[in-house]
Amino acid sequence: MGRSGREAVVRGRRLYEAAQAVAEDHARAVEAVRAALAPIRDGLAERELEAIPVARLKEVTEGRLRLGEVERGGFRTVGQVLDAGPYRLRQIPGVGQQTAAQTVAAARQIADAVRETIAVHIDVDRPDPRTTALVVALHVLVEAGPEAGRALDAARALSGRLGPLIEAARPVSSRLRLLVAGRPGRERALGAAAEIRVVAEQAESEGVPELLAQASVDLLRGPSSELAAMVDFELRSAEYYSLIAEFSDRRPDPAAAEGFLPDEVAERVRGQALDDTLRRVSLRGYQAFGARFMLAQRRVIVGDEMGLGKTIQAIAALAHLAAEGRSHFMVVCPPGVLINWTREIEGRSRLRVTALHGPDRQEAFADWKERGGVGVTTFDALRGFALPGDGEPAMLVVDEAHYVKNPKARRSLAVREWAERCERVVFLTGTPMENRVSEFRSLVGMLRPGLADAIGEDRAKVAGSKAFRKAVAPVYLRRNQLDVLAELPALQHTDEWEELSARDEDAYRKAVLDGNFMAMRRAAYAHPEESAKLNRLREIVAEAAEGGLKVIVFSTFRDVLAVVRDALAHTVVLGPLSGSVPPAGRQRLVDEFAAVSGHAVLLAQIEAGGVGLNMQAASVVILCEPQVKPTVEQQAVARAHRMGQVRPVQVHRLLATGGVDERMVRILANKARLFDAYARRSAVAESTPDAVDVSDTALARRIVEDEQARLGALRGGR
């Protein structure tokens, strides 16, 4: 085995050196990020500590610390105490060694807590040298992508195996060394050389040398310029912020990231493997948990708040099953997001995707049946396809699953029939329940009828929201933005209350007299030349234009959007994006909106624009009127304020005093509390049963009658 043994050791050593190089290149890139991140975090911490009064130190010591002399010595903030240290504090009359030491120790506890909660935000409109340096350093790792992570894992595994073997095989390098090693030494050396050959051949068959070589090239390649790095950050900010969170050691609370699931469910999910070989992007920790939840629990609802990446979690689960050899998958979604789904699957995975939509959908369906991959279709189109055999597709993903909450609707029946034949089913929805617990229970019933029976609506009302959430834990996962996305820019809500003009009031009174709820809701725009709401909308848009900000204007009503378009004659206005615009047209409008340089306005019907489309280009959202369902507003805002947004988002809701808007806002607040209690983790008190039973039709009738009574216009008198 002389020559062959030496050749095996040489191959192994080359592979080992390549693995070591990747580890070193990655460590160097990580160190560059940490070095750029440290001064930013230190500066943020210093500013926060300078704003915390010394009196807060008493809370750390439960009131035992005496701070009177320290404050009289001129120390006003925790930051000042830390800068001074115990020696300078002891110079203050009346402050002894023990008090000084305890004061500084308490200040350090607060400083540690502050550093744990610091969130780094990068202002793309006003970059400074420090944040630019951070983006440049991060760019290397983002550009290297998940392939670098796989290469690093392979490098570590190879280093761990080959290092000891190469050392044991050293005598094989020359005949003399092998001779003097003695019989036991020779046997160990030759055995190690044989094992090196096996390891090297396996690595070569799996393409590991090429993976390592490419990773080293990627990790050593920097951006062409600072500008190129900043542009890439705007395009892929979610990936940059994910790395910032990782290297800041600022990860979300584990319980929150796991949706506060019971320990036994969470443990089962953690043990689920997740193959990433067919996935092109990295996942955040909570996203990986979500994908594992889909796989481990098999038939589930993922109700993450809008903007947390439910789509990529589903794609990760599909990619895992494909890597295991499964061939067919189906995604069902509203038509407005079909193109978005096909883009996401193509861009974020290596899975074949086929759109099953339009006049040729039956031919496309036949092609999907024959060749496999991910079929993406709409609720209506699904009803026209032949039902699959049991066990195929390997996973059915239903996006915006609240569309099938009515068990008697035709699209709900079609989804149920497909779900019964699929081993794994994933319902994605940020709004699993809106007015009634029964709606949420209906979704659970499609997945696990037995569990739905166990959480009957009456029992849910009696037991309360905590018991309800515990009961549905095996099938339901929800995380909220504030719990897992520390870096999401600020979201500022402002209710813009306006007094109706005289002509607005006339239009409103006529609508009330006619009992026309929809006319009441848009009466404020009936006379554009004197519309108080429209005047405020113009002002908001003008302010956004001065800052070069993009604006989305949402309304339920197309005629209101037409009025807005006419009022913004000197502005770049796109849309309206409405239900009558085909899916390709909707996505094209969003793309055109994002491509406009500087200020622009996109008009959108809230039901069409508030579902599925990503509108991160906007940083101002205007809601022309309050909505009947709180989740409709939440979805619309989340189109702009979601993972990947790089600017703060301002939300302006235009409201008129004294009429339908005031009444709707009060009722919406009750509905939101119900949603919080049953579908989110929330400290809100249990909702009252009468709030559960409010339907949209009953709500409209009640508001009309109340307004008729208020205005003295109820026919027949009261």
Q: Sorting pLDDT into bands at 50, 70 and 90, what band is 596? A: very high
Is the pLDDT at 350 greater than 90, yes or no? yes
Going by the DSSP 8-state scheme, the letter that residue 333 receives in this structure is E
SS3 224: coil
- DSSP calls for 471-531: HHTTTEE---HHHH-TTSPPEEEEEEEEPPPHHHHHHHHHHHHTT-HHHHHTGGGSSGGG-
Q: Does 248 map to a domain?
A: no
pLDDT for residue 409:
92
**Are 473 and 497 members of one domain?**
no
What confidence tens digit (pLDDT) does each residue in 115-153 have? 877 888 888 878 899 999 999 999 999 999 888 988 999
Yes or no: say if 512 and 468 are a contact pair by the CB < 8 Å rule.
no
Name which of 293-307, 411-425, 466-480 the model is least confident about: 466-480
Give the per-residue pLDDT at 293: 97
Q: What is the pLDDT of residue 690?
A: 34
* Same domain for 390 and 284: yes
| Shared domain check, 177 and 31 | yes
Between CA 699 and CA 703 the distance in angstroms is 6
Evaluate if residue 688 carries a pLDDT over 60: no
Average pLDDT over residues 437-463: 73
In three-state secondary structure terms, 298 is coil
CA 541 to chain centre: 28
Q: Could you give the number of structural domains in the chain?
A: 4
Mark which of 435, 458, 483 sits at the end of a domain. 483
Q: Which residue has the higher pLDDT, 642 or 197?
A: 197
Q: What is the mean pLDDT of residues 71-84?
A: 92
Assess if residue 478 is contained within a domain.
Answer: yes
What is the distance between the alpha carbons of residues 272 and 283, in angstroms, rounded to a whole number?
15
The residue-averaged pLDDT of 642-665 equals 86
When pLDDT is averaged across residues 266-280 and rounded to a whole number, the result is: 94
In a domain, 389, yes or no: yes
- The answer to whether the bond into 209 is cis (omega within 30° of 0) is no
Claim to verify: residue 504 and residue 619 sit in the same structural domain: yes
H-state helical runs in 51-128: 57-60, 68-72, 78-90, 97-117
Place of tokens 């309360």: 464
pLDDT band at 179 (very low <50, low <70, confident <90, very high): low
Mean pLDDT over 171-188 rounds to 75
- The answer to whether residue 629 is domain-embedded is yes
Of 102, 117, 132, the one marking the end of a domain is 117
Is-contact 636 621, C-beta < 8 A? yes
Mean of pLDDT values over 419-430: 93
- Band of residue 397 on the pLDDT scale cut at 50, 70, 90: very high
Average pLDDT of the chain is 86
Query: 561 and 614 in one domain?
Result: yes
pLDDT recorded at residue 221: 82
Residue 528's identity, in one-letter code, is P
Looking up residue 633, the CATH number of its domain turns out to be: 3.40.50.300
- pLDDT at residue 250, as a whole number: 66
179's torsion region: left (phi>0), alpha (psi -120 to 50) or beta?
alpha
Q: What average pLDDT does the segment 534-547 reach?
A: 91
Q: Which amino acid is at 135?
A: V
- Looking at 378-472, list the stretches that DSSP marks H as alpha helix, in order from N- to C-terminal side: 379-382, 410-420, 437-447, 449-454, 457-463, 465-472
Answer yes or no: is 239 within a domain: no
Q: Are residues 417 and 478 in the same domain?
A: yes
pLDDT of 74 strictly over 50: yes
At 136 the pLDDT is 94
Q: Is residue 689 part of a domain?
A: yes
Could you report the per-residue pLDDT of 468-514, keeping only the tens digit for each? 667 788 999 988 887 887 776 777 888 888 888 899 999 999 999 99
My answer on whether 49 and 7 are in the same domain is no
Is 60 exceeded by the pLDDT of residue 45? yes
Which has the higher per-residue pLDDT, 430 or 12?
12
701-712 pLDDT per residue, tens: 888 888 888 887
Lowest-pLDDT range of 13-22, 144-153, 168-177, 622-631 = 168-177
Q: Do 408 and 359 sit in the same domain of this protein?
A: yes
**Radius of gyration for the alpha carbons in the chain, expressed in angstroms and rounded:** 31
pLDDT of 450 reads: 83
3-state class (DSSP) for residue 345: helix
Query: What element of type H or E holds 235?
Result: helix 226-235
Strands 620-623 and 491-498: unpaired
Pair (228, 326) in one structural domain: no
702: buried, middle or exposed (CB in 10 Å: 19+, 13-18, 0-12)? middle
Tell me: do 40 and 88 sit in the same domain.
no
Res 460: pLDDT: 47
Better-scored residue on pLDDT, 616 or 214: 214
Q: Which amino acid is at 362?
A: Q
With respect to residue 12, please indicate whether it lies within any of the assigned structural domains: yes
Domain membership of residue 63 as a residue range: 45-117
Q: Please, which pLDDT band fits residue 251 given cuts at 50, 70 and 90?
A: low
Backbone angles phi, psi at 415, to 5 degrees: -65, -40
For 542-568, write each residue's pLDDT tens digit.
Answer: 988 988 899 999 999 999 999 999 999
CATH of the domain at 100: 1.10.150.20
Residues 469 and 497 in one domain: no
505, 363: one domain: no
Q: Name which of 8-22, 100-114, 329-343, 453-467 the model is least confident about.
A: 453-467
pLDDT tens-digit series, residues 50-69: 999 988 888 777 777 888 88
Q: Can you say how many angstroms the Cα of residue 465 is from the centroid of all Cα atoms in its chain?
A: 24
pLDDT tens string 445-454: 899 988 877 7
Q: Which of 1-5, 485-489, 633-637 has the lowest mean pLDDT?
A: 1-5
340 within domain boundaries: yes
Q: How confident is the model at residue 248 (pLDDT cuts 50, 70, 90)?
A: confident
| Residue that is written with structure tokens 């086929």 in the block | 354
- Beta bridge mates, 38: none
Last residue of a domain, one of 78, 100, 117: 117
- Cα dihedral across residues 108, 109, 113, 114: positive or negative: negative
